[in-house]
């Protein structure tokens, strides 16, 4: 059994999608980011970066428990464990890892910043227009990179893989970001193909009732979620 420390965010969805695709048994341990569950000692012992997702596999290598944080590392581990969605051929495998690392280093961080300035920054004083435009421009550049690649192949690395599961959740909010996905024809085709997979629908629905996009969020929850720094993290130890 795998324990998944989870909140219903794109990074969380990556893991629920993979677990559903592999039919691996798992239990959800909800992490409420607005009240600071991510700073509790028991969570930090698993995820020292105080971020979700994280897993504990009670049937890890050698039958022992293993803790893993960072969504890319978890996807890689689950691919190795299940033997699915991560090719054995070295050339094909490196292509999957290229796109996985591309997502965790680019699409995710840029999409996260767009989400912050669209959904949450209006709760804070000041003019955020430059920041929103800066991150949205970079996000759209990355969408064009995906589209150019998908002009040549069905999925990012050829076959459906953990690379696609990593990127898909970060496209789902395109309407909230006021992105016209139809102008990216191949990306649109890829997105529609993945969203219709049964395992993807199940993965995205986990914790659906707990989703929030910044509307009517309290000052206390905003403080906990977005005004942490090095000093506040040190104080959590």
Structure tokens at 144: 């064009």
How far, in Å, are 102, 115, 137, 139, 236 from residue 133 at the CA level?
Answer: 21, 12, 6, 10, 34
Query: Where are the domain boundaries for CATH 1.20.1050.10 in the chain?
Result: 90-201
Question: Do the bridges between strand 2-6 and strand 26-30 make them parallel or antiparallel, or are there none, so unpaired?
Answer: parallel
Q: Listing from the earlier edge strand, what are the strands of the sheet with 2-6?
A: 26-30, 2-6, 54-57, 66-69
Each residue's pLDDT tens digit, 39-91: 999 999 999 999 999 999 999 999 999 999 999 999 999 999 999 999 999 99
Helix (H, G, I), strand (E, B), or coil: what is residue 89?
Answer: coil
Helix (H, G, I), strand (E, B), or coil: what is residue 55?
Answer: strand
Region of poorest pLDDT, from 33-42, 44-53, 176-185, 205-214: 205-214
CA pair distance 113, 139, nearest whole angstrom: 9
Torsion 43-47-52-56 (CA) sign: negative
Mean pLDDT over 217-223 rounds to 83
* Residue 237, pLDDT above cutoff 70: no
pLDDT bucket at 231, cuts 50 / 70 / 90: confident
Architecture of domain 2-84+206-235 in this structure:
3-Layer(aba) Sandwich (3.40)
DSSP 88: S
Domain 90-201 is in which class? mainly alpha
pLDDT bucket at 203, cuts 50 / 70 / 90: very high
pLDDT bucket at 124, cuts 50 / 70 / 90: confident
Query: Where are the domain boundaries for CATH 3.40.30.10 in the chain?
Result: 2-84+206-235
């Amino acid at each position: 059994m795998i324990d998944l420390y989870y909140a219903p965010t794109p990074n969380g969805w990556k893991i629920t999608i993979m677990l559903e695709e592999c039919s691996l048994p798992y239990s959800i341990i909800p992490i409420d980011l607005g009240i600071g569950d991510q700073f509790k000692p028991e969570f930090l012992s698993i995820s020292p970066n105080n971020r979700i997702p994280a897993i504990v596999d009670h049937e890890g290598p050698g039958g022992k428990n293993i803790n893993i944080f960072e969504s890319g590392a978890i996807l890689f581990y689950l691919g190795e464990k299940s033997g699915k969605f991560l090719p054995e051929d070295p050339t094909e495998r490196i292509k999957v890892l290229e796109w996985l690392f591309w997502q965790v280093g680019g699409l995710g961080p840029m999409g996260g910043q767009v989400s912050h300035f669209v959904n949450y920054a209006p709760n804070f004083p000041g003019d955020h227009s430059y920041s929103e435009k800066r991150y949205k421009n970079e996000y759209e550049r990355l969408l064009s990179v995906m589209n150019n690649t998908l002009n040549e192949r069905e999925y990012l690395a050829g076959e459906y893989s953990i690379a696609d599961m990593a990127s898909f959740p970060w496209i789902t909010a395109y309407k909230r970001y006021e992105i016209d996905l139809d102008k990216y024809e191949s990306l649109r085709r890829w997105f529609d193909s993945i969203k219709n997979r049964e395992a993807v629908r199940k993965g995205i629905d986990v914790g659906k009732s707990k989703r929030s996009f910044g509307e009517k969020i309290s000052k206390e929850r905003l403080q906990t979620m977005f005004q942490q720094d090095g000093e506040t993290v040190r104080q959590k130890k």
